[in-house]
Amino acid sequence: MGEFLQELVHFGVYKGSQGRITRQLTFAAIALTIALGLWRLHVNLKFSPWLTAHLPMAHYWIPGILLAVGLWAAFRLVNMPSFADFLIAVEAEMAKVSWPSRSELFRYSMVVIVVIFFMAFLLYGFDYLWQLFFRYVLRLF
């Protein structure tokens, strides 16, 4: 936690030219999560009678301040050396992945769907046979 708190006050970008796409997408996901949470806070604060009576427009400036702090923390997080090195390594590994073509993807998906339905019918059949077995065994005793 101490390393993260130290990184919060730095303004530089760690290895700025490496892992840009992964860092940008990670920042966007964190920022979207923070923004959605703060939007919900805004809605809750808007209908708080005490807050609207004592602090006018608080439902705007409290989430606004928290949004600025959250976005700064997210920016610093994706530029923290240990986390940034991890994201750089992730992007390097994703570049090595051989992605299937559209037809291969369709075929592989069809195989998975057929196997899932086969397994569902197989499990249904076993379940039905066990029900019959126990129904007749319990009737005998």
SS3 track for 92-131: HHHHHCCCCCHHHHHHHHHHHHHHHHHHHHHHHHHHHHHH
Q: Cα dihedral angle (80, 82, 83, 86), rounded to 10 degrees? A: 140
Report the pLDDT value the prediction gives residue 8, as an integer from 0 to 100: 65
What are the pLDDT tens digits along the chain (141 aa)?
666 666 666 667 777 777 788 889 999 999 999 999 999 998 888 887 777 677 778 778 889 999 999 999 999 888 888 888 999 999 899 889 998 999 999 999 999 999 999 999 999 999 999 999 998 887 766
Closest CA to 78 of 91, 93, 65, 67: 91
Residue that has been written with the tokens 């005998």 in this structure: 140
User: What is the spatial distance between Cα 32 and Cα 42, in angstroms, rounded to a whole number?
Assistant: 15
45 close to 59: Cβ distance less than 8 angstroms = yes
Report the pLDDT value the prediction gives residue 89, as an integer from 0 to 100: 92
